[in-house]
Structure 1
Amino acid sequence: MPSVILIDVSLSMSRPVPTTDTTESHTRFTIATAAINSFLDYLSVHAKFEYVALVSFSSVYEVAVPFTRDFDTIRSKLLNLEEGDKTCIDTAFLGVNQLVLSEWGCQTPVQIIVVTDGSSGVGSIGRNRIIQALPLPPSYPAKIHILPIVSPHDSCLQHAMPLYQKIVDSANNISNHSNGALSRGSIYCPDQLSVPGVIATVNRLCEQHYQEFWCALKCGQLEARVQLFPAPQTVTHEELTTSYTLSNQIHVIGFIQQQDLGTPIATSKHLVIPQAQTGGNISGKENYGSKTPTKEGSSTDSANSEEDMSDPSKIPNFCVLLHGALKVEGMAAIVQLGTEWWGTLTAWCEASRARRSCLLLSVLRPGTSAAPWLGPLDQLGPADDGATPAEAFPVRSWRSYSGGGSSCAWARPHALLADVQKVLRHARKLPDKTQHLYKELNRLRRAAISLGFSELLTCVGSALERECAALPATAPPECALQLAHAAAALRDPRTALDIKHTLQPLAANFTPIEKGRETFDLLISSLPYLVSLDGDFVFDDSEAIVKNKDVISESWFDPFYNDFWGMNIKSNLSHKSYRPLTILTFRLNYFLNGRQLSVIHFKITNMLLHISCCLLVWASFRHICSKIKSSNVDIAYTSALIFAVHPVHVEAVSGIVGRADVLAANTFFLTFLLYNKAMSNSSWICYIYLMCSVIMSGISMLCKENGITVLGFCLIFDILNTNIYNTNKRKASTIIRIVITLLSIMLLLYGRWTVMGGTKPVFKAIDNPAAFAENFFTRIRTYNYIYFLNGVLFLWPQWLCYDWSMGCIPLVENVLDNRNSCILMLYIYVLLIICNIIFRNSGPKKRLIMLAVCLIIVPFSPASNIFYSVGFVIAERILYIPSAGYCLLVGIGFNTLLNYRSQLICKVAKFMFLLLLLIYETRSWQRSLDWQNEYSLFISGLSVCPLNAKVHYNVAKVADASHHTEWALAEYKEAIRLFPEYYQAMNNLANLLKNEKKYQEAEFYLTAAIKHKPDFPAAWMNLGIVLANTKRYNESEIAYKTALTYRKKYPDCLYNLGNLYLEMNNTFLAMEKWFDAINLNSKHDLAWTNLMALLDNTGQINKALKIIPKALAELPESPSVNFAIANIYGKINEYEEAEKYFKKSIKLFNSKVQAIHYANLGVLYHRWKKYSLAEEMYLNALKIDPFFKSAQRNLHSLRKFKNK
């Protein structure tokens, strides 16, 4: 019976205890510590197998030591308990209840010892409130003892006594309603408040509730003195009022096989520990029953006793003999405990007592029929006791017949008949039960061949032919074909009597059904993605496609020299993601669309690739199931349907960059199908298929790196199916195939390493914080928690986010972190799968489950951080291929439920499957809407990863783009708060503040950004702009030049430096810098505009006219360039040319047109003497800006002239 010590550590426990001894002073806490140590000393002698936990409490509770038998741990922890504040006993019991229920459940009796200072901590009103709030009675059998460290005459004890009595009584009530009537708990108040007085009280408690129980174990003439631990309690019959007390003699009255015993209900279980026997063996039989030895033995005596008991198996003893016999024979002993009360004895070995010959006593419920299948227990006894022969024991075997084994043997005719009837039942339920029919036929065949019962095979074949002839006209054609095929196979002289041969279903092809399923698969796999076709390039699409020169350049070979993002693959700054074939598909989209980057064309391609992948997954699953699970298309089809609609695929399909994963998945399953063809052919053709599969795996790797894992999966598939090849030729071809595949893997990996230049990619801590954690165990815990989250995304893909980096998943640094429970759940789930594979499934199903698990693990392994660190935390598109394994596991599970005999379970399973499809389809639709544009995508990330600084950064960018300045400022500041070194956010925030003319604050953030990244050219340039706006020209010039040192080719910085020189009235240098900017970026419209405006204003019209053709050649549709050209032509009185360019610029400006544009056109008409048009343009300018002085002045002048 486990015990909990509940010790009060509130401030009142630190009060000193009045004493006449001036040499030594004590507090209530030190006395409580002495009392607990005395209690532990008692247990170490008389109840050393007791589990004890230590819980401290004040206003909160803490489990100082969980349940343990190491009492020294509790003693050491007592010295280090932290002092609390006030006493809250209701909180304490809440903690105890949670601890007990988590460790022992609601059936195990528990003793709770409350050590407190005798104060309830509240007044009478508060005491009543606490009584009502107490989490009592507990939901488990319990005894509560209260030990107040207080003088019996103290007034505070009288005040707290009603509360203590209520606590004790509430536990007593629940205890008395349990099967084992526990003795009642009580309040133990010391006679005097001193160390000896409290220890004497503790001893009294121990003697009443922790006494030992000794008895004699007898079997015929053999006898041994044993201790039962924990001590048995009196039991009350459920229906009668009779109480049953354990006798001091336990008689063995019979033996039984454990498999016949089964698992009868036990009211309690006890260790049976033999008494230590020394050279002078004690043979006396007195003092049996309850015994409470005193604690007078010294520590030396105790040590000697422990030494004597260290290995009783070396000393002759009846318990040792019985333990060995029961363990070797696999039997149990039935014992009589008292009048009409029995139990069972089984061999038991505790982990901490590996060399002790202990027995486990299971006490049955009182009565002669505690286990009805064993018959009346009162008839058991020695053979010569009964005058009349008794019925064979046991009356009914606990084992029930099951047809699920790999083979069978028939002891009675009805068992053989049951097996044949099972085959015929499956035959009448074709085609749904095809796999079950062949499974039972193979089991029946093996048993018949083993017994030499070949006639059975002929008879079963005839029965199948009769079933085929009796098929109704409406039956599917597959039924007749399968029955005829099975009957012929049972009579085939070549294989009928070959025990190693396995009957396989007929591989029939029923085109209408298959086409119907394909159509449905196509439909549901495409529906969720239709809504996102008319969207934008989002997130990584901008870097990988829009800004990637490998997509829009003329050369088709550059992608083979650069990484996925357009940087040289051998550069130290490269991401090392080598996916040239994916980039070539982007280029193909670009060229087929007339050299235009059309989102809808890219997304339609992704969707079509996803549809083709769904069909390939279905084909792969069919081949896997036909190879392993007797061609059950239901598993393949249900798994493929789940794969088609799983929401974790949305990022890979709706995000154009995810095409790499979809392409890799297509080639992954194509490789597998080719490898399967190689396995199915024994001739030289198999090597052609094998070479094709190796080539296809290389193509898969060039689409995305994890494509190479397909060869690892093919190897596992091959190894798990080698048992189907029984000829030497087949075995030789299998070995050659495996060797070739292994060599191909090494060759491809070497080639990939060479392409990277023999260097690994370099990532930052913000990309994958766990990889940069200094503590090894922190990394391991965090990685395991990430694995758990990936599993959650499979099971319930509600929390999907486009970016999981930075602080989205904080490191699991503390052992006490609540997320450790998630890691534990993950490993429990893995352990359950392993146990399910080992213990609960036949050979074929084991292989199928193992393949499904491998299809999850193998493609995911490159992203697992096991072999090398990756540049992300969680990437949903990485799960595209591994999700196929998860879907196959779900398909296996649903198929198992659908094959239950219960129609209700089958209907519920079908409903749950359809509901799962609907949920996944709806969630995929919702997620596709998120991927339509960056605004919805970035906003969706806030609810999933609120601690991710990059999510807030991206939200700030879209808020700024939609002119929500305050929102953008707040999000940038939140990003910096979450990640104080986020220099990109500081730079963007400073730009916003600069636009709001908050130059001082902008300068602060730009300086901070430069501090964190001194070689940040954009920050230096923006700092130069801010300094220029504050008239600090020299400092601004230094900032611009610093930016240019870090980025030599920086046209924007040159443009701004030219603006600075213009502010400083250095027009020559201004024009020089603008020319430099244009040379670097011929489409820099602002540089062209400012250059032409400066040439116009300085009277250099000829130079301006010379550069106009170049400007128009580069930027024919730039409104600012056309406006500058119009002004130049207007000044040289080229009115028609000026009018043309003014009108074109106004049209191009569209909604962004300003008052000055109409005003300048009005000036042109004014000078051209087209006064009505001039007046109209002035009025248009004033509509935009009623206070535009130039338009007001010119309009007034025009009207004054007209009125003359």
Structure 2
Amino acid sequence: FFAAPYHQRSPHSGLFRPLPVVSYALEYRMLGSKPWHFHVVNILLHSFNAVLAYLLLFKLSKNEKLASLAALLFLFHPIHTEAVTSIVGRAELLAFFWAVLAAIVSLRGFGLLEAGAFFLALLSKESALAVLPILIFIKRWRLNLPWSAVWRKSVYLAPALAVYFLLRYLALGEYMFKSGVVNFIENPLKFLPLAERLGTAFKVLSLYVLKLLWPVHLSADYSYSSFGFVNMTSVSALLGLAILAVSVAVLWKKRRGWLAVGIAFFFFPYLLISNLALTTGTVMAERLMYLPSLGFLAVLSYAALGLAGRRKTLLWAAAGVMLVWYGYLVFDRNKDWFSDEKIFTAAERLHPDSMIPRVALAAIDMQNEKWAEAKHELDRAVSIYSGYSPLQNLLGVWAGHSGDQKAAEGYFIKSAELNPKSINPRVNLANLYIKQKQYQKALEHLVVLVELNPARDFAVKYGYLLIAVGKSNEAISVANKYLSTNDAEYFSILGTAYFNNKDYIRALEYLLKAKQYGKSDPAIDEMINMAGNKIP
């Protein structure tokens, strides 16, 4: 778990999040694979996070009303639906839990506990690195320590960082500080000229703030082309720039006050996901606001209490109405998360020109044998942007279903060219070539598949195909390298390969073990009989 990438056998994703994976594994071991308990744990974590938010803000502000209001807004805010309802949102929840806990113990001066919580936050999600400047900010300005004391008390954080980056290197290798899977659809900002990239990044900030203030029209997808690109002369870009500038100004001017820490909780995590200096894997996602929203809601609560003055009863009445409204929005939003089809239909309805929902719905239509509907989605997706690897792959599936194998081959090849690390087009090409008895071409893609993702099914197909083209020794190597020694297919491939090599003693040994482990195949029985007859 602690030396493996987040996506199994895919270090090129650039993601290392062992703590969520461990939590999934423990749940699976104790409670099985039913999704309900994964959702329950996410809800409990979100509730605990709201409590931690209250404790942190109360310790900072010494204002129970402010801490209570901000924590309630955090607990009920609809923008958190994606992070809480989606099981993979566990990474956001755990990163928040340990990050806020690190801040709380930092205020108490517990260096070892602070380092431990910070380390666990890093193991939850990469974005928790934003906690480091927050912890330093707390020591320097909230605790009013001189810089020499700040560095001395921060020394505990150095081993946590060192061990984290060592584990990250062991898991990701050359992808320790980069991703090999960012594409134009998921984050077009990486591929835009600087002026458009900055303008659109600031526009995204204004969209985030708008959704924090008015959380309607939420979506699980903001990929290309959910919204248009802009340059720095755009009103939305200038608004985003103004928001960031005001945050920096207040952060510095009020640096010794508790409010600055609240702003820091928005400012520093946002910088990591902003695409301003470094591009990330996505242009925008509501789940990414989970940690920054704490700082924003703290500032919002402070402003609300200040405006209310002595009219606190009116304020709490308004807050109650808002929380009821938030609850309704969360309930309504969760309806969209009942199935893949519902979530992508909702996203497509909100952003008709967005690529990912249309491609996803086309795949769902194909699974449900709704080929006409799938073709409609594919045609619309092609009109938006044709250079998307999953789209080309699905066009190949549709062409194959229509009987045009030549066109299917072309689409699959194009898909693999657009994303050389993509699995699906190579699987489809291998299957197509096997069907056409072009085994050598099939092998070219299977060898890439097992390098990209040495899953059992790929290794088994690769091993048998090597035997079929007379490469039995290579098949033996594949079985020994990729298959478990308690797998019936492991013994079947070895037995068949040794049989083809006329090593009948070994062939009989492995073929009998294949049957012992549950392999039932007339060809196995025939080889066992023939091998038995060949042995003196």
Q: TM-score range by the shorter chain?
A: 0.7 to 0.9
- Say whether the 8 Å CA contact 2:127–2:272 is kept in structure 1: yes
Correspondence for 2:53: 617
Does the alignment pair 1:564 with 2:6? Answer: yes
Letter in 2 for 1:605: V
Of 294, 297, 300 in structure 2, the residue corresponding to residue 887 of structure 1 is 297
Q: State yes or no: 1:802 paired with 2:196.
A: no
TM-score normalized with structure 2 length:
0.78
Match of 2:260 in 1: 850
Classify 1:1108/1:952 alpha carbon distance in 2 versus 1 (closer, same or farther; 3 Å). Answer: farther
TM-aligned CA deviation for residue 701 of structure 1 = 1.7
Which of 434, 439, 452 is matched with 1:1037 structurally?
A: 439
Residue equivalent to 1:1110: 514
**2:178 aligned partner:** 761
Q: Which has the higher helix share?
A: 2
Query: C-alpha distance in 2, partners of 1:920/1:967?
Result: 35
Paired position in structure 2 for 1:706: 127
**Which amino acid is the alignment partner of residue 770 of structure 1?**
L
1:789 pairs, out of 203, 207, 222, with 207
Counterpart of 2:282 in structure 1 is 872
Residue 884 of structure 1 deviates from its aligned partner by 0.9
SS of the residue corresponding to residue 565 of structure 1 reads: coil
- What percentage of residue pairs aligned between the two structures are identical? 19
CA distance in 1 between counterparts of 2:359 and 2:134 reads 40
Classify 1:948/1:1024 alpha carbon distance in 2 versus 1 (closer, same or farther; 3 Å).
same
Distance verdict in 2 for CA 1:1021–1:717, change over 3 Å? closer
What's 1:580 paired with? 18
- CA positional deviation for 1:1002: 2.4
2:152 pairs with 1:740? yes
Contact 1:973 1:989 in 2 (8 A): no
Cα pair 2:447 2:462 within 8 Å, conserved: no
| Contact kept? 1:1058, 1:1070, Cα under 8 Å | no
Conserved in 1, the CA contact under 8 Å of 2:190 and 2:197?
Answer: yes
Give 1:694's aligned residue.
Answer: 115
How far the C-alpha of 1:883 sits from its partner, in A, is 0.9
Q: Kindly provide the amino acid, as one letter, of the partner of residue 152 in structure 2.
A: I
Return the offset for 1:1075: 9.8
Shift of 1:1043: 1.6
Q: Answer yes or no: is 1:918 the counterpart of 2:324.
A: yes
Tell me, what secondary structure is at the counterpart of 1:597? coil
Deviation sequence 1:666-694 (CA, Å, 0-9, x none): 1122222212223xxxxxxxxxx233223
**CA offsets, 1:95-133, max 9 Å, x none?**
xxxxxxxxxxxxxxxxxxxxxxxxxxxxxxxxxxxxxxx
Tell me, in whole angstroms, the C-alpha distance in 2 between the residues paired with 1:575 and 1:1015. 10
The within-5 A match list for 1:546-565 is 559-565=1-7
Q: 1 CA distance for matches of 2:75 and 2:53?
A: 9
CA distance in 2, matches of 1:1067, 1:779: 52
SS where residue 642 of structure 1 aligns?
Answer: helix
CA distance in 2, matches of 1:1041, 1:963: 30
Q: 1:488-499 residue pairs with structure 2 within 5 A?
A: none
> Which residue does the alignment assign to 2:106?
675
The equivalent of 1:772 in structure 2 is 191
Alpha-carbon distance between aligned partners in 2 of 1:794 and 1:702, rounded to the nearest angstrom: 27
**Matched letter for residue 899 of structure 1:** G
Letter in 2 for 1:793: K
Give the letter aligned to residue 1113 of structure 1. Y
Displacement of 1:973 in angstroms is 3.7
**Distance across 2 between alignment mates of 1:1019 and 1:850:** 50
Q: Which residue is 1:1157 aligned to?
A: none
Deviation at 1:1071, TM superposition (A): 11
* Equivalent residue letter for 1:825: L
The secondary structure found in structure 2 opposite 1:574 is helix
- Please list the CA deviations of residues 804-850 of structure 1 after superposition, one character each: whole Å capped at 9, or x if unmatched: 3343344325x66xxx11122334556677899999xxx89x93443
Give the residue type in structure 2 aligned to 1:649: H
Instruction: Give CA deviations for 1:857-905 in whole Å, capped at 9, x if unaligned.
Output: 122222223453222211322211111112212222332243246xxxx
Within 2, Cα distance between the matches of 1:666 and 1:1017? 34
> CA offset at residue 803 of structure 1?
3.6
Aligned equivalents of 1:925, 1:1039: Cα separation in 2: 51
- The aligned counterpart of 1:649 is 80
Alpha carbons 2:82, 2:89 under 8 Å: kept = yes
Residue of 643, 656, 664 corresponding to 2:95: 664
| Superposed displacement of residue 712, structure 1 | 2.5
Q: How do 1:1138-1157 residues align onto structure 2 when only pairs under 5 Å count? A: none
The one-letter amino acid paired with 1:888 is A
User: Residues 998-1017 of structure 1: matches in 2 within 5 Å?
Assistant: 998-1010=404-416, 1012=418
Q: Secondary structure at the match of 2:19?
A: helix
CA drift at 1:922:
1.5
Q: 1:935 aligns with which of 333, 341, 344?
A: 341
Task: Let me know the Cα RMSD of the aligned residues.
Answer: 4.4
Cα separation, 2, equivalents of 1:1057 and 1:566: 20
Where 1:701 maps in the other structure, the secondary structure is helix
CA separation of 1:575/1:1021 partners in 2, compared to 1, >3 Å: closer, same or farther?
closer
Q: 2:27 matched to which residue of 1? A: 589
Post-superposition CA distance 1:421-441 (Å, at most 9, x none): xxxxxxxxxxxxxxxxxxxxx
- Which residue identity is paired with 2:19? L
Distance 1:1060 1:996, change over 3 A: farther
SS in 2 for 1:564: coil
User: Do the aligned partners of 1:711 and 1:741 also contact (CA within 8 Å) in 2?
Assistant: no
- Return the offset for 1:1055: 7.7
Do structure 1's residue 637 and structure 2's residue 68 form an aligned pair?
Answer: yes
| Residue aligned with 2:5, SS | coil
CA distance in 2, matches of 1:672, 1:795: 25
Larger RCO, structure (CA 8 Å, separation 6 or more): 2
After the TM superposition, which residues 222-261 of structure 1 pair with which residues of structure 2 at under 5 Å, given as runs? none
Query: Which has more strand, going by share of residues?
Result: 1
In 1, Cα distance between equivalents of 2:417 and 2:92: 39
State whether residues 449 and 458 of structure 2, in contact with CA within 8 Å, keep that contact through their aligned partners in structure 1.
no
Query: 1-side partners of 2:277 and 2:243: how far apart?
Result: 24
Q: Give the superposition deviation at 1:967.
A: 1.9
- C-alpha displacement of 1:1000: 4.5
**Correspondence for 2:500:** none
Taking the aligned partners of 1:1013 and 1:833, their CA distance within structure 2 comes to 39
Task: Give how far 1:794 is off.
Answer: 1.3
Residue in structure 1 matching 2:377, options 968, 971, 974: 971
Note if contact 2:116-2:160 (Cα within 8 Å) is conserved in structure 1.
Answer: no
Give the letter for the 1:692 counterpart: L
SS in 1 for 2:13: coil
What is the letter of the counterpart of residue 15 of structure 2?
S
> Normalising to structure 1: TM-score of the pair?
0.37
Alpha-carbon separation, structure 1, partners of 2:241 and 2:427 = 52
Give 1:613's aligned amino acid: N
Give deviations 1:31-79, integer Å, cap 9, x for gaps: xxxxxxxxxxxxxxxxxxxxxxxxxxxxxxxxxxxxxxxxxxxxxxxxx
Counterpart of 2:439, as a letter, is E
Deviations for 1:537-592, whole angstroms, at most 9, x for unmatched residues? xxxxxxxxxxxxxxxxxxxxxx2211222347xxxx43333322232222221222
Cross-structure match for 2:236:
822
5+ residue gaps, structure 2 = 497-506, 527-536
Matches for 1:111-126 after TM superposition, within 5 Å: none
